[in-house]
Amino acid sequence: MPAAERLLDLVIALSHTRHRMTKGDIRRQVNGYADAASDESFDRMFERDKDQLRELGIPIVTLTDSAHADDVGYRIDMAEYRLPPVDFTAAEVGVLSLAAQVWQDSAFAADSRRGLTKLRAVSDLSDPAEHTGLALRVRGPDAAFPDLLEAITDRIGVQFTYRAANTGTTGDRSVQPWRLVAKDRGWYLIGFDNDRQAQRSFRLSRIIGRVHRVGRPGEVQIPQQVAPHPVHTTEVVLALVPERASAVRARSEPAEHPAAVADRDVVRLEVTDTGRFAEELAGYGENVLVLEPAELRQAVIQRLRAAQTWGRG
């Protein structure tokens, strides 16, 4: 049987024994140990499992019989193993509810929903309106990531269509790929731009369509040292409803602006991808107003209008 299942059965047995279990008891009663070919193999298996459980923090204690000192037994110290009662305030459950949303598009979706249901059964949820718009997602790597990673491994050139960050124009790029790096909430390709005959960096989220391999494997020579890549950023100024948009507040700083709105907090921050940032801001609805730049404000409005008309007609 799988080792994890055998370990779980051992934990259950040692936590429910009235006094203790000897090695003989464990070999006879715990699933998985009867398969041991000999006493020696059983001893090795049990000692390995016991050490692993202790490394996980499970307090397995050793007991001896007062009349028979050689009669050694084992059990789990339940006083040390049990967790204290879990009690969350309404605000804490509200935060956990938001955290559970991070996993709703992942393999952990079912587990997060079950955990949240149990918490709701024993605690009061905070007002959902307090967290309007804060709906996080776990993003997977950009679509171009696996193709570029394979190209770097095979040392082969690539071609792709790219949208420039400063002008927004698109064009074809022919690149010798060197590195993939994560920086400022995004993935970047660092390589040699054949058309410009210089090192360049490309944000993967700005690559449009497929990445095509060019040439033969082994042709690209990757240097041992690659200079750090420059990151283009855009300054953003926002007006936030008090006590809203906490995720944006956490990475921004207070600011002043001539178009400041009464009863709103003005903040500024630097972003590296206005398209993705527009997606995030649209989720906050009326709680966030974009003051600058104008193109970001228009991108947010477009997404809000698309959401408003979605499903009609």
What are the domain boundaries of the chain? 3-81, 90-131, 145-214, 234-308
Q: Where are the alpha helices (DSSP H) in 137-228?
A: 145-154
Contact between 272 and 231 under an 8 Å Cβ cutoff? The reply is: yes
Is the pLDDT score of 158 beyond 90? yes
What architecture (CATH level 2) is domain 145-214?
Answer: Roll (2.30)
Q: Please give the structure tokens belonging to residue 265.
A: 């907090």
* pLDDT computed for residue 120 by the predictor: 64
Cis check for the bond before 293: say yes or no (omega within 30 of 0): yes
H helix or E strand, kind and range, residue 170: strand 170-183
Q: Is 291 helix (H, G, I), strand (E, B) or coil?
A: strand
Residues 100, 94: Cα–Cα separation, whole Å: 10
Q: How far is CA 95 from the centre of its chain?
A: 17
What tokens were used for 53?
A: 């459980």
Strands 265-271 and 234-240: antiparallel
Give the DSSP H or E segment for 49. Answer: helix 39-55
Single pTM value for the model: 0.42
Taking only the tens place, the pLDDT of each residue in 15-36 is: 998 888 999 899 999 988 988 8
Q: How far apart are the C-alpha atoms of 263 and 244, rounded to whole Å? A: 12
- SS3 state of residue 28: helix
The pLDDT of residue 313:
54
- What's the pLDDT at 131? 45
For the segment 208-236, the average pLDDT, to the nearest whole number, is 86
Q: What distance in Å separates the CA atoms of residue 186 and residue 122, rounded to the nearest whole number? A: 39
pLDDT reported for residue 184: 64
| Low-confidence winner among 120-129, 149-158, 272-281, 301-310 (lowest mean pLDDT) | 120-129
Q: Write the CB contacts of 168 (distance below 8 Å, at least 6 apart in sequence).
A: none
Rg of the chain over Cα atoms, rounded to whole angstroms, equals 29
Lowest mean pLDDT among 43-57, 84-98, 169-183: 84-98
Cβ neighbours, 10 Å, residue 48: 12
Query: Which of 36-45, 53-62, 132-141 has the weakest average pLDDT?
Result: 132-141
Q: What is the Cα–Cα distance from 163 to 169, expressed in whole angstroms?
A: 6
Q: Decide: 242 and 264 in contact? Cβ < 8 Å.
A: yes
Contacts for 75 with CB less than 8 Å, ≥ 6 apart: 14, 15, 17, 19, 20, 21, 60, 61, 63
Region 6-17 average pLDDT = 91
Q: What is the pLDDT of residues 66-121, one digit of tens each?
A: 665 567 899 998 888 887 777 777 667 667 766 766 665 555 667 767 777 766 66
Q: What count of Cα atoms within 13 Å lies in the side-chain half-sphere of residue 210?
A: 3
| 173 vs 114 pLDDT, higher one | 173
150 burial (CB, 10 Å; 0-12 / 13-18 / 19+) is: middle
- Asked if the 3-81 domain carries CATH number 1.10.10, the reply is yes
**Max alpha carbon distance in the chain (Å)?**
87
